[in-house]
Each structure stands twice: as structure tokens, then as C-alpha cells.
A and B are shown apart, each in its own frame.
Chain A
Amino acid sequence: MQEHAAGLPETHGHEETHQHEPTGFWTKYIFSQDHKVIAMQYTITALLVGVVGMVFSWLMRLQLAFPGQLSLIQPDNYLQFMTQHGMIMVIYLLTAFLLGGFGNYLIPLMIGARDMAFPFLNMMSYWTYFVSVILLFAAFIVPGGPSGGGWTIYPPQSILPGASPGSEWGIRLLLMSLAVFVASGTMGGLNYVTTVLQLRAKGMTLMYLPLSVWGIFVASVLALLAFPALFVGGVMLLLDSLAGTSFFIPLVNQFGRQLGHEGGNPILFQHLFWYFGHPEVYIVILPAMGVVSDIIANFSRKPIFGYKAMVISILAIGGLSFLVWAHHMFVSGMNPYFAFWFAIATLAVAIPSAVKTYNWMLTLWGGNLWFTTPMLYAIGFVSTFVAGGLTGLYLGNTAVDVPLTDTYFVVAHFHLVMGVSAILGIFAGIYYWFPKAIGRMYNETLGKLHFWVTFVGTYAIFFPMYWLGAAGMPRRYYTNEAVTQLPPSSHELNIFITIAALTVGAAQLVFAFNLVWSIFKGKKAEGNPWKATSLEWQTPQTPPVHGNWGPTEPVVYRWAYDYSVPGASQDFTPQNVAGGPAQKAKASGKTKH
């Protein structure tokens, strides 16, 4: 890294400009308040936690392909791997990575700010997340091991002794970890939202923001509104477990013995959980959508199609996500009219989602496509989002959901639409911003190899699960021996899926190698290798230094999609370039549809 702001006149209030430039190792790399360092900390931690989540998925797949042949995997372990895998992937990897990693790195750079609004809070947010990860893994060394109550941790079985593995200390640590994570997410979310609202560079109106910022911004608002429900549900569940209260636990007779609870309502927990849980899936998908939009526009050398419609769709998806939670509870015995409403609201989500999908396609259409690794990942995202999202329309209909719920159909649906899509979006973003963040290029050949194995492989894993689910293979089962309706061929399919899962896992080694090798040995990157318009590519140094912009903050004159403007001297015009021709398709409302 270069030292800060080369060529900065010393007379120029240097003291004050950089008074927070940290010099010691601890303040520079560990307890740093610089958003870029915090972003790296989030990124590295989330990726490492994600590796653990991935290893658990292999163990489950090994069991499903070769039932009972690995003594390591007993039924209880299976449930624990499953629960921890789900929790890790959704919360500790995807949420932490997309908000804490991308959010932290991109927001200040893309809006032309020098840092977050509250750098100290930002640092606290990371370290609180770190504590939540420690608590998560602490569950592995307590008696009974981690919780095996499913990632939805429904009571009563998640906290009644003997009802599921880890239902005493495992679940308590998990609940504490989640509460701490919520605290971390709240500190982060406050920061991201305030920063976007208050610290935009001069000229950067809301409708000039790149879609990445829009996605992260709305996701952060969702986090602020949804995490409290998880917090409340978690604290109440913890009290039921630790203090013997009866918020959720009804009168239970266990082995002829009456437990101390009475009258609690387990369905109440489901409402609290899904009031958080559904918006949560958009918390991870909206930032990925934003990132993908920017990457597709750049590598098509075209303005994003329907920018305004994209922004409205993001807002609509965000708003609707609070009205649909009970579609996860169709089999909980709810009033059919209630279910009807939730089905309608769920189907309505398809409209803004389809708008976004068409806009991506129309951006690609006729574009001057440049198939770099990030572009491949972005297109892959659109593909898996559709392949997973369309079956959401099936599951959103109560009558269709009832037979399909708790089968592999659901596993296929949510893995494709939120799991794989979000991961592909993350990979797209990592490759795309790697040159800026590290100052070196990654290896394109290895990147493409990584993409093709991952992309084809994840389809091979999850697409056949639709058939398995339709054939009646139940979700969360250690073994399917007793599931008589399954045809024998389903077992061969399960072996095939496991092989695909292990192959995809191996491909991640290529990614890891590419990352590490390129950090040290990659070709030096220029400041703007993708010829992109948004502000993060216009920093005076690459990688950007503390304070990001040198002596003067950027001033913004145009939106982020002035690609291939007729009459311009080059095929992209950065946001901080004044004058000259601009796309007609401006944010002013004169979008050409």
C-alpha cells in the first residue's frame, strides 16, 4: 500500500485531514475504524465461517449418498450439521458478507464519502460480529454439542431436554450468539443507512446512486426493521430455556413427567421467526441484485435498462417482504383466509422480481458483452435466481405448498434462489472489485474454471432435488430407508448429487488459491481496469488509502450508467466528469422504455 495522499501539500491542513490516520499495527489492522479495513475483516471472517458451513454440507451429503457407512455421522450429528449449516450460511456468511463486507467497502467509495458516518460504531459492529461467531462455535464444546433443532429453531423441540440434540447449552449459546449478531447488525445497519443519507458527495442525488448502493441501502433498512423480531423471539426462547418461563412452551408431558411449562404458544415463535426470516432472504438477495446490476451494465457497455424501475422494484420488494412471512407457516393450522392473503402477497413479489429480471436481460440484449469472470458470475446469478425463484410461485400457493412443504422441493427452491444466487453474486463482486481492493489482478483462467465448475455443479446439486422433492423425499431426514414411496433411482440421484457437491467443494480450492496467489503475485492493476463509471474506480490511489479521496472530495455530475454515450470520446463517462454528452436515459424520469 502506498502512503496516504501522495502530493498532498503539507500546508493544507494535513494534520486535520489525516488526524485519524492510524499508524500502529493494532489501530491499523485490528481495531481499525477505516471502512475498508473493517470490510476486509468482515470478508475474511465470513469466508472462513462459510468454509465450516460448506464442510457440514459435505458431511450431510456423504450421509445421504452412503447412509450409515460413516460412523462419524450419527442421526444426532446429522441434525446438528444441518442446523449449523443453515444458520451459518444464512446469517454468519451471507448477511455478514453482503452487508458487513460489501456494504462497508462499497458505500463510502461509491457515494464519494471519506468513511462511514460513525467509524467507531463500525469497528464495534465488526468486533461484536466476531464475538457472535465465537459464541456460535463455543456451542461445539459444551455438553450435548450444538443445537440440532433446525435453523428455524422452532420450540418446543429446540429447547426441551432430549427433544433434539444440543437442546440445552447448544441452543442457549446459539440464541446468545444470535442476539449478539443482531446487536452487530444494528450497529452496522445504522451506519450504512445514515452514511447513504448524509454523506453523499456533492451532486450525488439518490437517483444517481449505483444500484449496488441501492440494494445494500434497502437491505440495511430491512435489517433494522427485521432483526428486532429475531432478537425478541430469541430472548424469549432463551428465557423459556434458562428461566423456565412459558412464552412458547405449552404444557408438556415428557416420558410421563410433566415439565414446568404451561400454556405457551409455539406458533407465536414461528410468527416472530418468520417476521424476521422472510425479510432476511431479501437482506441477502437485494445487495447481490445491486452488485449484479452494476456488473452487467459495465460488461455490456450499456446503461442499465430501466434504472428507475430497478430502484422502484428494490423498494417494492423491500416493502412486500414484510407482508408475506406466514407463507412459511401454511401447515401450522392457520385460518384459510389468512393463508389466502399471504398467498396473494407472496405472488405479488413476483412482479418486481420479474421487472428486475427483464431489465437484466434487456441490458444484456444487444450489448457489447465482455465475458470476464465477474460477468459470468453475474449472468449465472440471473439464471439461478430464475431457476429458484419460479418455484416460489408454486410454493406460494397454499394448496401446492401443503404437499411439498418439508420435502426436497423446498430445499431445491431456497438453495437456488437465495443460497446459490447470493453466493454467485458474492463471487461476482469479489472478482469485480478485487483489482480495486487489492491493487492486483486475479487470474482470469482460474476464475473462469472456478465459475464453470461452480455454476454447472450447483445446478447438478440442486436442480434434481426438485424431482426428489416431488417424489416425496422428506427434508431433514437422516436416512430415507423408511420412505417407501421413493423409487430406487432416487438413491442413485442422491449419489450423483453428492459427487457434484464434492466437486463444487473442490472448485472452491481453485478460488482460494487464485485469491491468495493473486494477492501476492497477481499482475499490478490499474485504477480502473473495467473502464467503469462509478466513483470507487476514480480514487486517486489503488487500493484507496485512508480518507479515500486525497485532498478534495469528488463532485458528481451524472448517474453511474453513462456507458457508450453517443458522441463521447470514450465508451464510458465517469460520474465525476463534468459536461459532455450524457445518456438520454437519465434519472430525470425520461427513461426510454
Chain B
Amino acid sequence: MNLPAHTPTHPRMEEASHGNSRGPGGPDGWNSNSDHGGDHDQPRLATAKAGLWLFLVTATVVFSMLLSAYVERKTGTDWSILPRLGILWLNTGFLVLSSAAMEWARRLARRGDLQGTRFWWLLGGAFAVLFLLGQLLAWQALYIAGYGLSSNPSSSFFYLLTTLHGLHLLAGLIAWGWATVSIVRLPETALAKSGIKIELCALFWHFLLLVWLAIFGFIWFVS
């Protein structure tokens, strides 16, 4: 499994030892929910990232199971090939741009460039919204072409895969919107406070891009 490296000792213990003013062994920050200053972001980031990575592993299993079922079900004689929807290429482009913008926001945040971070962060979210709208258009086009949810297993899989992927992205956008509130309001110095949210969102975005590329690849090339 792909877990980030961890130290055997409690990361926060080390913190306490290098001059944390909160008193001997002050166990502040042990609760990952508590919102302390930037001092505490490193261990919190490691823990939150570990949690997100585990979730990505689980989500990977979900999509791999669906794609295996897709490959298996495709051998049925009733399988028909879906019309090629050009808009999917456009949507793919949106998602690539979205992921790239999130990555850029993440890097600028690390450098402490608040203006740049804000710009790319908002742009990343906007492209994600465009992707989702584009997916809705793709659904409409497919539906008009005569493929409803239950018309054919190929369209059933298409709707199911895109819905599950879209719901993940939608959940990501909710997290993004929640983080945006604090990022937009932030004074320059406190960028580190939102660092975790930016890191996690970027990671999730890249994952969803990979998942989409896999889904798109199967739909386009393995049909």
C-alpha cells in the first residue's frame, strides 16, 4: 500500500521538545480537529494526508472493481458501442487544466504567494465546475442519441462511472468551497493556516484526474 512515510514516534512529541512555549509536554494539538497556529501544521498535515491516501486507496478499489465489471460485461453479445462524444475530449481538457491550476496554487502557497495562490485556486475550482457542466452536456447528448440509463449495458456503465466520478468531484468542490472562504479572507501572513486544505485538495484533484483518464480510456478505447 502506498502510505506516506511515518516516524515511529509521535510526531508531536518532537514538537514539544523543540521549544514549544506551551509548557512541558503540553499535549495541545493532539486533537486533529483543533485549529491551532501554523506550528502544528506539519504533523496535522502528515496525519490528514495519510487519511486521504487511505481514502484514495479505497476509491481506487471502487473504480477498479467497476472497470473490471465493465471489461467482463462487455463480452456480452448485447453490448453496443456508444456514440463517440467529442465533448468528452473537451471535458478531459478542463479537468487537466483544473488539476494543473490546483497544483500551481499548491506550489505558490508553499512559497507564501497569497495573490498567486488565490488566483490559481479559484481558477482550478472554476475548471472543475466547467468539467461537471460538460459532463452534464455529455449525458444530454447521449440521452438524445437514444441511450438512457437502462438502454444498454454500455450506457449503464457510462452513466454509473461518470456519476460516481462526478460525485467525488462534487464532494471535492464542497471542500474546495469551504476552504475558499478562509483563503479569500486570509491576511498574507496566515497562508500557512490553509496550507493543509490546499495540499489535500490538490492531491484529491490529481487523483480524480487519473480516475477520469482511466474511465475515459476504457470508454473510448475498450468498447
Q: A: which residues have CB within 8 A of B?
A: 11-13, 16-17, 19-20, 33, 112-115, 117-121, 186, 189-191, 193-194, 197-206, 221, 224-225, 227-229, 231-233, 235-236, 239, 243-247, 260, 262-265, 268, 272, 275, 547, 549, 551-553
Q: How far is the CA of A247 from the CA of B79 in the complex (A)?
A: 11
A-B pairs with beta carbons under 8 Å apart, 28 shown: A12-B23, A13-B22, A13-B26, A16-B34, A17-B26, A17-B28, A33-B33, A117-B47, A186-B55, A190-B54, A194-B47, A198-B6, A198-B11, A198-B47, A200-B9, A225-B57, A225-B61, A231-B62, A233-B65, A243-B150, A245-B156, A246-B78, A246-B153, A247-B153, A260-B150, A263-B78, A264-B76, A272-B65
* B13 adjacent to A202 (CB under 8 Å): yes
Q: Decide if B30 is an interface residue (CB 8 Å cutoff).
A: yes
Query: What is the CB-to-nearest-CB distance from B211 to chain A, in angstroms, rounded to a whole number?
Result: 13
Contacts of B137 in A (CB 8 A): none
* A268 adjacent to B160 (CB under 8 Å): no
- Contact of B9 (CB < 8 Å), options: A113, A202, A262: A202
Query: What is the CB-to-nearest-CB distance from B69 to chain A, in angstroms, rounded to a whole number?
Result: 6
With contacts A17-B27, A236-B69 taken as known, whether A194 is within 8 angstroms of B50 at the C-beta atoms is yes
* A236 adjacent to B160 (CB under 8 Å): yes
Q: How far is the CA of A272 from the CA of B72 in the complex (A)?
A: 12
- Contact of B65 (CB < 8 Å), options: A11, A232, A552: A232
Q: Decide if B141 is an interface residue (CB 8 Å cutoff).
A: no
Contacts of B150 in A (CB 8 A): 239, 243-246, 260
Contacts of B34 in A (CB 8 A): 16, 19-20
Of the listed residues B31, B47, B65, the one surrounded by the most CB atoms of chain A closer than 10 A to its CB is B31
Contacts of A265 in B (CB 8 A): 72-73, 76
* A263 adjacent to B25 (CB under 8 Å): no
With contacts A186-B58, A203-B9 taken as known, whether A247 is within 8 angstroms of B156 at the C-beta atoms is yes
Q: Decide if B144 is an interface residue (CB 8 Å cutoff).
A: no
Q: How far is the CA of A2 from the CA of B104 in the complex (A)?
A: 51
With contacts A193-B54, A197-B6 taken as known, whether A120 is within 8 angstroms of B26 at the C-beta atoms is no
Look across to chain B and name the residue whose beta carbon is closest to the beta carbon of A552. B25
Interface residues of B in 4-24 (CB under 8 A from A): 6, 8-11, 13, 22-24
Query: What is the CB-to-nearest-CB distance from A265 to chain B, in angstroms, rounded to a whole number?
Result: 6
* A119 adjacent to B32 (CB under 8 Å): yes
Look across to chain A and name the residue whose beta carbon is closest to the beta carbon of B3. A197
With contacts A119-B31, A553-B27 taken as known, whether A268 is within 8 angstroms of B47 at the C-beta atoms is no
Look across to chain B and name the residue whose beta carbon is closest to the beta carbon of A220. B54
* A-contact bits for B148-176, CB 8 A (1 contact / 0 none): 01100100100010000000000000000
Query: What is the CB-to-nearest-CB distance from B215 to chain A, in angstroms, rounded to a whole number?
Result: 14
* A553 adjacent to B10 (CB under 8 Å): yes
Query: What is the CB-to-nearest-CB distance from A28 to chain B, in angstroms, rounded to a whole number?
Result: 16
Q: How far is the CA of A204 from the CA of B129 in the complex (A)?
A: 45
* B46 adjacent to A16 (CB under 8 Å): no
* A232 adjacent to B66 (CB under 8 Å): yes
Query: What is the CB-to-nearest-CB distance from A542 to chain B, in angstroms, rounded to a whole number?
Result: 20
* A551 adjacent to B57 (CB under 8 Å): no
Q: How far is the CA of A118 from the CA of B36 in the complex (A)?
A: 15
Q: How far is the CA of A364 from the CA of B107 in the complex (A)?
A: 58
Q: Decide if B77 is an interface residue (CB 8 Å cutoff).
A: yes
Query: What is the CB-to-nearest-CB distance from A213 to chain B, in angstroms, rounded to a whole number?
Result: 14
Q: Decide if B181 is an interface residue (CB 8 Å cutoff).
A: no
With contacts A231-B62, A260-B150, A263-B78 taken as known, whether A194 is within 8 angstroms of B10 at the C-beta atoms is no
* A547 adjacent to B27 (CB under 8 Å): yes
- Contact of B57 (CB < 8 Å), options: A202, A224, A229, A260: A224
Query: What is the CB-to-nearest-CB distance from B73 to chain A, in angstroms, rounded to a whole number?
Result: 6
Of the listed residues A205, A227, A231, the one surrounded by the most CB atoms of chain B closer than 10 A to its CB is A231
* B51 adjacent to A117 (CB under 8 Å): yes
Q: Decide if B145 is an interface residue (CB 8 Å cutoff).
A: no
* A239 adjacent to B149 (CB under 8 Å): yes
* A16 adjacent to B26 (CB under 8 Å): yes
Query: What is the CB-to-nearest-CB distance from B146 to chain A, in angstroms, rounded to a whole number?
Result: 16
Contacts of B78 in A (CB 8 A): 246, 262-263
* A268 adjacent to B13 (CB under 8 Å): no
Contacts of B57 in A (CB 8 A): 224-225
* A115 adjacent to B50 (CB under 8 Å): no
- Contact of A228 (CB < 8 Å), options: B28, B51, B65: B65
Contacts of A233 in B (CB 8 A): 65
Look across to chain A and name the residue whose beta carbon is closest to the beta carbon of B157. A247
Contacts of B3 in A (CB 8 A): 197
- Contact of A553 (CB < 8 Å), options: B25, B46, B50, B55: B25
Given A229-B65, A247-B73, A265-B72: 13 more A-B contacts, CB < 8 Å: A12-B26, A13-B22, A17-B28, A112-B10, A118-B33, A194-B51, A199-B10, A203-B9, A229-B61, A232-B69, A236-B69, A264-B76, A553-B27
